[in-house]
Structure 1
Amino acid sequence: MALLDAAREVRERAYAPYSGFKVGAAVRGASGRIYHGCNVENVAYPEGTCAEAGAIALMVASGETDLIEVAVIADSSGPVPPCGGCRQKLAEFGRADTPVLLATLGGATLATTIGELLPGRFDISHLSGTE
């Protein structure tokens, strides 16, 4: 539960003055270290940063590029999946079978994987043979 707790804690620091929709995310690197991020909105809405992207950026900035677990939490009626762009970002650094836990502040959860969130993902294999 430490991963979900980290996501819950960082969610409180989200900067969401326009939507009011705060999201927290945490990823666990292959080292076991937890990296977290929150959404950061911008007055040029919707030009902001997603929580998942922030967590991945912190992981990469800290020297890791392999994630082995993901947790995302929001105050919503049901678990909120990552946006399409963040699904691709998660797929860049995690495997298809990497577990993803989506949760609400009310306690509802949905366990899934990166592969289930992004079937048929675009990856390095698609670049082979290009000129």
Structure 2
Amino acid sequence: MAKVLVVEDDVDIRGLVETRLRRHGHRVVSVGSGEEALTAIAEKGTPDVAVLDVLMPGMDGLQLLRTIRLDPASAGMQAVFLSGRIQESDIEAGRALGATYLTKPLVLSALVNAVDAAADATPAVAAATW
């Protein structure tokens, strides 16, 4: 299955997402901030898919994805946004980055389907430490 990076500042949501993705066979690394995500990628390599909270203190998910994709090795990484923001402008901002945009409250089956679809849409990225 896919190598998935989960970036969510809410500990409970992060735990739910990580548990559900692991149950579906994905290899998961989860962190609580954009800065921690950049460190994880530097240490472990680029994941196949990133699940990103949009609203986080410091670096938000949209900014994080833009930053990750500046590296040519990560430019094609797939992403799924999670957000409590349901304004059309927010959804369009996520989709403009080529990401799936899911709203909270989270439907875990929809998230798993979105991660599976994103993983199928990209070739596997070499990252031995995942």
**Highest relative contact order (Cα 8 Å, sep 6+), 1 or 2?**
2
Find the structure with the greater CA-based Rg: 1
- Give the TM-score normalised by the residue count of structure 2: 0.37
Whose strand fraction is larger, Structure 1's or Structure 2's? 1
Whose helix fraction is larger, Structure 1's or Structure 2's? 2
- Give the TM-score normalised by the residue count of structure 1: 0.37
